[in-house]
Amino acid sequence: MTERRHFRSESCPSRETGALGVTVEIGGIPISLRGGDPDFCGLIEQRYAGFVNPKAQPAFEFEFDLDSPAEPSNEDARVFKKGFVWFFERGDFRAAWDVRSRRGRVRQSPNPYSLDTVLRIAHTLVLAGEGGFLIHAASAIRDGRAFLFSGVSGAGKTTMARLAPPDADVLTDEISYVRRCKRGYRAYGTPFAGELARVGANLSAPLDTLYFLVQGPENRVEPVSPSDAARALLRHILFFACDRDLVQRVFDAALAFVSSVNVAKLVFTPDSRAWELIQ
């Protein structure tokens, strides 16, 4: 069953500190972002339009300190844990997040793309604890079921999203959100956009099939063995930390996923007929 969420976008002062804050709810996990300045809060609201939920009770909180403006860095983020505190670092941000208090502090340039990375890292850590993950994949809901289209850059994620028929709701063209639930897995829309440059629909639905995209001369679906599926999935899961426990969790999550979800290869020509196979 598809779940649809409508949030009214509004920034509001924190009840506790009076500081400006925005609660961004992605994948059903509300994260409160507080501090910064009104301009930055406005930027966050714009960037995450459709995912701002002022009424949600935050599961986690981040307090912001804004640095001087800087472009997002191209280097890889370093993510590591000391005791109960996770640290995320890159040229354009530094964050510390205490898993016990569920609070963190971020120092970053006033750039929503830096915040994007901080949020992605936080969500990957949360999801790893419950058997879910973020994955480089486009996704869409059709007939109440979610379909994922994964692949490397250039494989056709944005193309599949762009070619989606009117009866399909595109969840994202770049980063898909997968949570484990009682009866399997559920895919959620994300504001993390690729070339389409459009936030996904804030919807969720039970996951039907994960397709690995390969462009070819015709449209067809090919089976994938569980071990090939696991290897391909592990290559496409967003994964930041070189932490032994986390690696084990992500590894277990990927293997559990391929054991219970349909996984196939979608060979497709870049036109809308490929969607005839997605039923």
Residues that bind another protein (CB under 8 A): 225-227, 230-231, 234-235, 239, 242-244, 247-248, 250-252, 255, 258-259
Q: Which two tokens stand for residue 259?
A: 């054991």
Work out how close the CB of 79 gets to another protein at its nearest, in angstroms, rounded to a whole number. 12
Which CB sits closer to another protein, 125 or 170?
A: 125
Which CB sits closer to another protein, 253 or 274?
A: 253
Work out how close the CB of 9 gets to another protein at its nearest, in angstroms, rounded to a whole number. 37
Work out how close the CB of 210 gets to another protein at its nearest, in angstroms, rounded to a whole number. 16
Which CB sits closer to another protein, 145 or 251?
A: 251
Work out how close the CB of 235 gets to another protein at its nearest, in angstroms, rounded to a whole number. 7
Work out how close the CB of 53 gets to another protein at its nearest, in angstroms, rounded to a whole number. 33
Work out how close the CB of 229 gets to another protein at its nearest, in angstroms, rounded to a whole number. 9
Which CB sits closer to another protein, 62 or 239?
A: 239
Which CB sits closer to another protein, 79 or 178?
A: 79
Which CB sits closer to another protein, 146 or 246?
A: 246
Map the chain to HEC letters.
Answer: CCEECCCCCCCEECCCCCCEEEEEEECCEEEEEEECCHHHHHHHHHHCCCCECCCCCCCEEEEEEECCCCCCCCCCCEEEEECCEEEEEECCEEEEEECCCCEEEEEECCCHHHHHHHHHHHHHHHHHCCCCEEEEEEEEEECCEEEEEECCCCCCHHHHHHCCCCCEEEEECCEEEEEEECCEEEEECCCCCCCCCCCCCCEEEEEEEEEEEEECCCCEEEECCHHHHHHHHHHHECCCECCHHHHHHHHHHHHHHHHHCEEEEEEECCCHHHHHHCC
